[in-house]
Amino acid sequence: MNSFITRVLALLKPQDNMPPEIRRAKQLIAAIDAGGVPLDPSIIRKIAQSLGLEVTKKARMEDTIHRIRVAIERY
């Protein structure tokens, strides 16, 4: 009986149709907003590039994070 209820609830749960790159970018921004500090600029750069942004290795991390914020607002 319990597994039946679990299946019904799973069917009623709204599906997340968000592309994985948008989901990852939103998770990054949420972590930063919660007080986290990104330690690896290459990860930030990879997330930005997955969103279609051109980012150089010399770009400031703050600027790249701002560009990521703007990109996910468009989604």
At 15-72, the pLDDT tens digits run 677 889 999 999 999 999 999 888 899 999 999 999 999 999 999 999 999 999 999 9
- Model's pTM, two decimal places? 0.76
Both structure tokens of 32: 């930063």
* Phi/psi at 19 (5° precision): -60, 150
Q: Residue 14 and residue 12: Cα distance in Å, rounded? A: 6
Task: Output b/e per residue, 5-42; b: 16+ Cβ within 10 A.
Answer: eeeeeeeeeeeeeeeebeebbeebbeeeeeeeeeeeee
pLDDT tier for residue 1 given thresholds of 50, 70 and 90 = low
